[in-house]
Chain A
Amino acid sequence: MERRISPFSKLFLAIIFFVLYAPIFFLVFYSFNSGETMYNFEGFTLDWYRELFGDTRLLIIVLNTVVVALLSALFSTIIGIIGALAIYMAKRKQTKHTLLAMNNVLIVSPDVIIGASFLILFTTAGIKLGFYSVLLSHIAFCIPIVVLMVLPKLMEMSPSLIDAARDLGANHWDVMTKVIIPYISPGILAGFFMALTYSFDDFAVTFFVTGNGFSTLSVEIYSLARRGISLSINALSALLFLFTMILVVIYYFIVQNNKVNGAGVRKR
């Protein structure tokens, strides 16, 4: 099999990479524009960043978003671990498949459907739209992601580990906290992290279930963008891009650790 890539293919890849990254750098570039538009670069300025940090309303929104992301990641991780254990422990194959199918419904559902149906749900249940409705929906759509991150770890765990712990006199609680949880912890970490990013990035679901008083970053960007170009959005996106890069690096390390861990066990 030939391993070389022809110059034509290289050019193709280069164009794809360019197209993928150009819009992002375009945004970041114009965040330093002292003009007001995204086409005429007049001079370098940091005014848009200054404006951003002076905007208390926006800072509160950022705080809201972070609080919602952290809380929903925390709760969805706890319930997600329970879910993964429930699927893992299901004895009948049919039960296992049904649970998994149920679990995956919210992953494949379009955001609009999740948003609209949760809006009906909260209204029917009499929950006021705002912080709690947003938090509850974020927890709800993050749970299946955590389950899918934790479940493979449970599946690859050798059952003899649990048997050995039992033979050595461990009770249920010991088996759970001293054998299972430590073993699946890389999956838990990855799940928590994914939940964090999903919650942080979500727009559509939040847009449906947020009331008038409460807003997250994505919803705010949407309403700003509908009003047209404003270079403070560019400054915001530059900061978010930086933040995303940090997240990517963290995620990369988590995955890397996972691999080492997994391979180490499998090799015996």
Chain B
Amino acid sequence: MDRKLTGNLFKIPYYLWIILFVVGPILLVLYYSFFDIEGHFSLTNYQKFFTPVYLKMTFSSFWYAFLITAITLLISYPVAYLLTKTKHKQLWLLLIIVPSWINLLLKAYAFLGIFGTYGAANSFLKIIGIGQKQILFTDFSFVFVSVYIFIPFMILPIFNALDELNPALIDAANDLGASKWTTFRRVIFPLTIDGVKSGCQVTFIPALSLFMLTRLIAGNRVITLGTAIEQHFLVTQDWGMGSTIAVFLIIAMFLIMVMTNTRKRGV
């Protein structure tokens, strides 16, 4: 009995962490969402969330996140597929992953230079005859930079899924007379769907919430849920409203997790 007790005693720091930093903060966010800016208990924040202003923002945030995820997937899947066919595939994969290690803000900062009025992108447009355009602080630049940032994160799980795919299955499909497209649609894609799902998960959730990108790259043209939360917490100091938006973001996150749940995750 005593032995069992000491055997469990060492787990205390970890359980303490779960209570203080996992469960605690979520409950606090929920609690704060019921207080208005004057500190009175009320449901006004939730009423406000269901006004057109906030609903429109939520909708556009989801729309951008969807757009970013879709474009990232469309680019990443072929890249991952081609990478599995290269000779030194692990090395090439590493080279794809390296940019994801570089500080996100520096990458965003680079695009401030590239997309600027006299930046590299505009000189290129001038050369090919389109002429100077306002690129920075538009929704295009926001989507472009987001896709740029998420590509490595999307490629990695898809690459792993494709790499585990048994080539005999593709041979079998070919032998049975399936065209390339049919093989892809009926064999390759379904078998790598888990990789696609985890890729979409690691793209969609951050795409809903990256506020520094919208601040730096999109000016204030795009407001995502993340930007709104940051605004309420750090600028207008309306923690109640910020918490309410956070509650909805947590719900959205939970739904996405359930939708993209892969059986192999975890253990």
Contacts and interface: CB of A to CB of B under 8 A. Distances in A.
Nearest to A88: B267
Given A110-B206, A208-B233, A26 B105 contact: no
A116 B18 contact: no
A120 B233 CA distance: 10
B67 interface: no
A253 interface: no
B88 interface: no
B220 to A, nearest CB: 12
A96 interface: yes
Contacts of A240: 102-103, 106
Given A23-B110, A248-B94, A104 B28 contact: no
Interface in B1-30: 3, 7, 10-11, 13-15, 17-18, 20-26, 28-29
B26 A117 contact: yes
Contacts of A226: 215-216
**Is the contact region of chain B dominated by helix, strand, or loop, or is it mixed?**
helix
Of A38, A78, A124, A207, chain B has the most CB atoms within 10 Å of the CB of A38
A119 interface: yes
Contact of A225 (B18, B123, B174, B216): B216
B205 A247 contact: no
A116 B148 contact: no
Instruction: Give the interface size bracket for B toward A.
Output: 35 or more
B22 A102 contact: yes
Contacts of A204: 210-212
Interface secondary structure of A, over-half rule? helix
A118 B118 contact: no
A9 B96 CA distance: 16
B21 A106 contact: yes
B208 interface: yes
B181 interface: no
Contacts of B233: 116, 119, 208
B191 to A, nearest CB: 14
B116 A38 contact: yes
A3 interface: yes
Given A117-B246, A221-B109, A5 B86 contact: yes
B17 A20 contact: no
Contacts of A82: 10-11, 13-14
A83 B14 contact: yes
B39 to A, nearest CB: 13
Interface string A1-35: 10101000100110011011101101100100000
A47 interface: no
A95 to B, nearest CB: 11
Most A C-beta atoms less than 10 A away, residue of B20, B101, B205, B216: B101
A117 B29 contact: yes
**What 6 A-B pairs have minimum CB-CB distances, sorted nearest first?**
A38-B113, A117-B25, A110-B209, A23-B110, A140-B21, A83-B14
Interface of B: 3, 7, 10-11, 13-15, 17-18, 20-26, 28-29, 32, 75, 78-79, 82-83, 85-86, 94-96, 98-99, 101-114, 116, 118-120, 123, 148, 151-152, 167, 170-171, 174, 201, 205-206, 208-212, 215-216, 225-226, 229-230, 233-234, 239, 242-243, 246, 249-250, 253, 257, 266-267
Given A117-B28, A221-B106, A252-B94, 4 more contacts: A3-B85, A79-B13, A110-B209, A248-B94
21 contacts: A1-B167, A16-B75, A26-B110, A27-B113, A39-B120, A100-B266, A102-B22, A110-B208, A110-B253, A113-B229, A116-B229, A116-B242, A117-B246, A121-B21, A140-B21, A143-B21, A207-B212, A222-B105, A222-B216, A225-B105, A240-B106
